[in-house]
Every structure is written in structure tokens, then in C-alpha cells.
Amino acid sequence: MARRKKDDDFEFGFSFTEPRAYIFRMLLCVIFVVLIGAVLFEPLWLSFQANVVINGVILGALAIGIIYTFRRVTTLWPEIRWIKEFRRAEPGLTVPTRTALLAPMSAMLRERTGPMRLNTLTMRSILDSIGARLDESRDLSRYMIGLLIFLGLLGTFWGLLDTVNSVGTAVRSLSVDTGTSENVFADFQSALEGPLAGMGTAFSSSLFGLAGSLVVGFLDLQAASAQNRFYNDLEEWLSTVTTIDMAPDPSGAGGGTSTDRLATQLAAQQQVTADLLDSNRQLSAELARLFHAIEGRNGPRNDG
């Protein structure tokens, strides 16, 4: 719910909800993940060393996803500040704050010379443009979530492939005819190092990939909620400065609901149709009298 009548927003009746609560939840999520990583540092570090390249790429993608989701929320502050300055500014004055998300709205309303008034078409055009920009900003976050899952699966299949190859090599290298049982067991232990390393790659990449997608998914959910709250507040504000274009009432009774206007228009069309039918009947009667008059004049002349 929007914050009610406070400070310099008293005259507007409501103010835009700032995304502090969403930032706070996102920070709590990141701090919680860091604390878990600190508690489980040793096993996580061993898992990371199973394949430094793949796991490093996964952690890098995780960092990019976290930074981008935070940026999606923090960029709402300049937009809210621009709206507040625009509502306080006198008509004809330039609002100094630059904005990216509300750039179309800023261009359309830059030359206003009086109180701000929009029609329904302009309001819908502004909201559609801003909604499209918000949807576009969400695409990268969704891609990062899918990328983390993909990298986890890629590491899993890479590790399984390495495991299969290592098992085949280990089996071929075993020989019971060339040494004692102690030597054979030692060779078997050394041969198992390759398959175990492959399994470590598979499980560690799955662990980091799925955990990273979970973290970025929660942050993306909070960022989407903040953007939806901003969009709803913007729609609520624009609805207060939008006038609905109503068709004039032929009866002179003024505007009403859309159903009343439609009924009035249908009644008017029925009246016009009735007038046309009455005119056609009158014209037919006149033509009939004229025809009888012409026959009356021609009748006696033919008898003579």
C-alpha cells in the first residue's frame, strides 16, 4: 500500500513507495548466503577445487546476477525522484533530474504550459512504454538464472564423461600377473583417482549451479516486486490526472456510463430509421396521388 500524505507529498494525497524494504530483504538474503558459506567454508572450498574453471565461471555468473538484480531496484530511486520533482515543478519549468525508465513520459510532458492533464490514450501509451521497459530489464535476470542451471548441468555431464573415461583407463591398467596383491591394490587406488575427480566435478558444479540459481531467483523475485509496486503507483498517480473522453449525449442529459451512452445511441439510430421509413411512406403516397392525377387527366382525352 502506498505511503499516505507525508511531508511535501501531502497535497498529492499519496507518495510513491520507495524500494527500501525490497533492498533490505535482498541484503538479508545475501548476508544469509555469506554466513552459510563461512560456516561451510572447508567443504565448499574442497568442492570448488574439484574443478576451478567451471566452478569459477559459475560463481562469476552468480556475482553478475546478484549485482544486476540490485541495480534493477536501485535504478527506481531516480525515477521516483523525477516524478516527485515533476509534481512539485511549476508548468513550463524544466525538471533537472535525468531519467531512463521514464524518458518517453519526460519527452511527452516537457512542454506542458498548464496543469497536467492526460487523456486515456496518452496514459495507456505511457504505461505500455514503461511496462515494456520493465519487462526488458527482467530478461537478463531470467537468463542468468537459466545460465546458472545450465552451467551446473554442463559441469555435471563433463564430470560424468571424465569419470567414464577414467574408469575405462583404470580397468585397462589393472593386471594381477605382474605383482603382489599389495601392488595390485595400490595400483587400483591410484587408478580410482581419475573417476573420483570426475565425480567431484559433477557434484560440485551441480551444487554451485543450483544454489546460485536459487539465490538469483529469490533476488529476481524481490526486484520484480519492487518494479511492480512502482508501476502500480505510477498507474495510480496517472489515473488522478487523466480525463476520460465521453461522447456527447444527444438528449442533452450529460455523460453517463458506457452502457447508458450505448443505449442512447441505439435509441437515436432507431429514431432516425423510423423517420426515414415515415418519409418513404409519405413519398410513396405523393407518388400514388400524382399517378392517379395523371390518369384522370389522360382518361377523358382518350375518350374524345
- The average confidence (pLDDT) of the chain is 75
Q: How far apart are CA 210 and CA 150, in angstroms?
A: 9
Query: Which bin fits 49, alpha (ψ -120 to 50), beta or left (φ > 0)?
Result: alpha
Q: Are residues 168 and 261 in the same domain?
A: no
Question: Which of 243, 260, 293 is where one domain is finished?
Answer: 243
Q: How confident is the model at residue 66 (pLDDT cuts 50, 70, 90)?
A: very high
Assess whether 105 and 89 both reside in one domain. yes
Domain boundary among the residues 192, 212, 243 is at: 243
Q: Which of 195, 212, 243 is the last residue of a domain?
A: 243
Question: Domain span at residue 233?
Answer: 7-243
Contact 230, 127 (CB under 8 A): no
Backbone angles phi, psi at 118, to 5 degrees: -120, 155
| pLDDT tops 60 at residue 114 | no
Residues 91 and 173 in one domain: yes
pLDDT of residue 276: 76
Q: Are residues 157 and 264 in the same domain?
A: no
- The answer to whether 255 and 101 have CB atoms below 8 angstroms apart is no
Mean pLDDT of all residues in 13-35: 86
Q: CA–CA separation, 270 vs 262, rounded Å? A: 12
Q: What is the pLDDT of residues 207-258, one digit of tens each?
A: 999 999 999 999 999 999 998 998 888 888 877 777 665 444 444 444 445 5
Q: Are residues 178 and 284 in the same domain?
A: no
The number of folded domains in the chain is 2
Residue 199 · residue 157 · CB < 8 Å: no
Q: Tell me the C-alpha distance between 207 and 211, whole Å.
A: 6
Residue at 2 is within a domain: no
Q: Are residues 254 and 142 in the same domain?
A: no
Share of the chain above pLDDT 70, in %: 65
